[in-house]
Chains A and B, each alone.
Chain A
Amino acid sequence: MSAVFSDGSGLFFAILGAALAALLAGAGSARGVGMAGQAAAGVVTDQPDMFGRVLILQLLPGTQGIYGLLIAFVAMNNLGIMSGSPEVNCSLLKGLAYLGACLPMAIVGYISAINQAKAAVASIALVSKRPDQFGKSMLFPAMVETYAIFALLISILALNGVGNI
């Protein structure tokens, strides 16, 4: 065991955390934006002038991917990967702490993106029938995003703290 989990192996887990944040949140957003995009394209077939509005609604589940990217970036930056001098002596504990810090964004990002997309699809249908309700229609998907924002916050705060280990 000690040979496998030598002192420097923390770096692996730290990067795994960063990768998971970008990967899962990105995958969720990709699916979400795709779902919303199909609904949006359907609306534009009949009502081309709705393009601007449905595009904004389609974009809403895309933020999780950005937050995931952001967490991955902060983690890699703290690890010195961006500046070209990775922290090769990162202890196992610290590496696992990085992994843990990234998980809220990774998991909540994935799930919230897909559920936000479902709300966005419904909102797109709403806007197609009641264009005047655009203001409200944006709120429903945004409610879901709240939890991605909370996850983002916790991940950032945790990453900040891990740096001091």
Chain B
Amino acid sequence: MSVLSMKRVLVAGLKKDRKELLELLQRKGIVQISTEDIAAEAGAEGSVFYQSDESGARTTFEKSAQAATNALSVINNAVKDPNAVSMFSGRHQMSLTDYTTNVKKREKIMEMVGDLNALAKRQSEIQAEIPKLEAQRESLTPWLSYDQDMGFTGTKTTRAFIGTLPNEVPLEEIYKGIDEVAKDITGVDVTIISSSSEQTCIQVVCLNKDAAKVEEALRHMSFARPVVSGSDPKSQDAALMQQIEGLNRQLAENEGRIASYAEHREEIKLMADYFQMRADKYEVIGRLYQTDKIFLLSGYVEERNAKALEDMLESRFDCVVEVKDPSPDEDVPVALRNNGYAAPVEGVVGSYALPGKGEIDPTFIAAIFYYFLFGMMLSDAAYGLIMVVGCAVILNKNKGKIEEGMRKTLTMFMYAGIGTMFWGVMFGSYFGDLPQVVMRTFFGKEIGSLALWVEPAVEPMTVLGFAFIVGIIHIFFGMGASAYTSIKQGKPLDALYDVGFWYLLLIGAIGILLTTDMVGGMFGLNLVLPGAVMTILKVFAAVGAVGIILFGGRDSSNWGLRIGKGLYALYGISSYLSDILSYSRLLALGLATGVISSVFNSMAAMVAAPPVIGPVLFIVIVVVGHTLNLAINALGAYVHTNRLEYVEFFGKFYNGGGKPFTPFTENTKHYKVLD
């Protein structure tokens, strides 16, 4: 219901207790370390205190944490983790004694981590090596039938040329080509080793004395030396094959070794967490003020935890704990605390902005409307029930373990589901018009509307009018919150000028508008108000308008300027108009859900005629269609509820700008160590 009150806490402890004290604070997670307030005094020139540079230690620990995380992903790639932390289940919990025993084995575990990372590196080297060898084999293929060394140059009296000619060249043409250039040679022998459309691999043998001429002839035919060299191709190929086989064997072997580490997975997870916590701890140590014997720690603690913290620290350590109010000019971090109804919406408020200095916590009033608005936009009893049951099941299954943020989000959607059910019943939408369609298609009966109030598709103007009323109430609440904030800050006149006059003007103007033919007629109202009421409305509007003109620009001392600004402020009524029109999305998105549902339902009804297969198709279309519709429209309802809250509602009274309270805690991924 409110922004939690924060206290400053100063701890002076003995250095020998530093490690234990910090680890205790980290497990408790209730203090945000912030030593800025003592910086001026303790950090001054000539002070006995110093800050130690712990960035080296911190980097080392972060590297170790990273190494453990990498090793973990190596194992997870090899063997799927049956015990993975899911989005909903939260971190595993571990008792302090278990943690201490496990952490003692860290050297052994880090050896495994090193081993795993080395194996992973080796694996990727092998995986890069194999294609290279395959490519080498590929280039040997055309030469495989050649049984000499590739470097063969001839015998004592002969000269051999081995190489390729471009394109496919028949034997006769090669002889012809040689004859044309090398006319008077004793003889030449050409063997085609292989040929393809790209190249012809040949061996040409001639007498030593003719070698130059033959070579010249071959050059004319674009003869080229082969890309492969060395011993005979067959044995080369065999050697390569053996190498590849060996590497593949190694791959499999290493894979097996990696998989054999799977049983140590949990220990490695713990290491990732352990080193992360140590890195965080050293980050904090670097911010402490220390002497050779003692250290000073300063930070924020929620007031409700302050006493317990003081008692806990003073009973366990020889230290001095001082709790005091933060100085008024401090930018105190913000934590919110709300009751079970409103707390789930804290995430929505937080993702806009936390309350700034002197602002109220808007969570409760935002929550009043949140579930209602969401429900009106999704507005289907069956969808609402699915959301409620789904969230309740997940929440119940992970009870006690689920992370706080996720718990709040799911609870929010559960309550939003209740809102959706409520509006579904009001609008008579159960998977859209599925009940009607089923009765008509399979039983030939018309059951008519199930709506408790109206069907938006039948009477859209009624619902549109209602949406505007909801909008007006929502906006009036926002303005009320603004007035409340002004009064709380000791500026009651601001509340009158900025909210009171607007209330008068808006109430008057809306009342008068409703009696006009244009607006009243649009909603089918033939409103005739008694003269006295009309007069009151007119007076309201007039007083409001005059008040705004006179006081809207009150920060200017020049009356001319002041009236000008006041007139401009009065022009702001157009923004109220557009704010209220914005609530027409309540009808539009509600209609969208209903009409898309009925699109799927009628598609299903079209194919439902044939026996057996018809009903099956009907069910398939209904299930797929409604799953899609629920997903899309729940997203739409969520996004647009947030928009209405952020823009139309918060815009009236709330600026935000507070920094979140981020206590020094176990910032881990896998385990949460209990105290």
Contact = CB atoms under 8 A, between A and B. Distances in A.
B276 interface: no
A153 interface: yes
Contact of B596 (A66, A135, A139, A146): A66
B268 interface: no
A70 B592 contact: yes
Contact of A156 (B582, B588, B599): B588
A139 B588 contact: no
Interface stretch (A9-17, A30-38, A55-63, A94-102): A55-63
A157 B585 CA distance: 13
Interface in A130-165: 133-136, 138-139, 142-143, 145-146, 149-150, 152-153, 156-157, 160
B602 interface: yes
Residue of A67, A70, A160 most packed against chain B (CB within 10 A): A70
B580 to A, nearest CB: 13
A92 interface: no
Interface residues of A, number: 30
Nearest to B642: A139
B460 A150 contact: no
Interface stretch (B202-210, B414-422, B632-640): B632-640
A46 to B, nearest CB: 15
Interface in B562-605: 581-582, 584-585, 587-589, 591-592, 595-596, 599, 602
B643 A135 contact: no
Contacts of A138: 639, 642
Given A69-B599, A136-B352, A59 B592 contact: no
B651 to A, nearest CB: 12
A149 B588 contact: yes
Nearest to A60: B639
Contacts of A73: 595, 599
B584 A136 contact: no
A77 B632 CA distance: 23
B396 interface: no
Given A139-B646, A146-B582, A70 B595 contact: yes
Contacts of B339: none
B39 to A, nearest CB: 27
A59 B588 CA distance: 19
A122 interface: no
Contacts, number: 76
B572 to A, nearest CB: 20
B596 A70 contact: yes
A134 B350 CA distance: 11
A136 B349 CA distance: 11
Given A66-B596, A139-B646, A149 B589 contact: yes
A152 B639 CA distance: 17
A135 B632 CA distance: 17
B351 interface: yes
B348 interface: yes
B116 to A, nearest CB: 21
Contact of A142 (B347, B348, B464, B640): B640
Given A134-B351, A142-B640, A153 B588 contact: yes
A152 B592 contact: yes
A139 B639 contact: yes
A63 B460 contact: no
A156 B588 CA distance: 9
A88 interface: no
Nearest to A72: B599
B646 to A, nearest CB: 6
B591 A156 contact: yes
B643 A143 contact: yes
Contacts of B646: 139
A138 B582 CA distance: 18
Given A134-B351, A142-B640, A156 B635 contact: no
Contact of B642 (A63, A69, A135, A160): A135
A146 B351 contact: no
Residue of A59, A145, A152 most packed against chain B (CB within 10 A): A152
Nearest to A138: B639
A74 interface: yes
Contacts of A77: 602
Interface string B602-636: 10000000000000000000000000000010011
B434 to A, nearest CB: 16
Contacts of A59: 632, 635
Nearest to A150: B584
A60 B352 CA distance: 19
Interface of A: 56, 59-60, 62-63, 66-67, 69-70, 73-74, 77, 82, 133-136, 138-139, 142-143, 145-146, 149-150, 152-153, 156-157, 160
User: What are the 8 tightest A-B residue pairs by CB atom distance, in nearest-first order?
Assistant: A135-B351, A153-B588, A142-B639, A149-B588, A149-B585, A73-B599, A70-B595, A152-B588
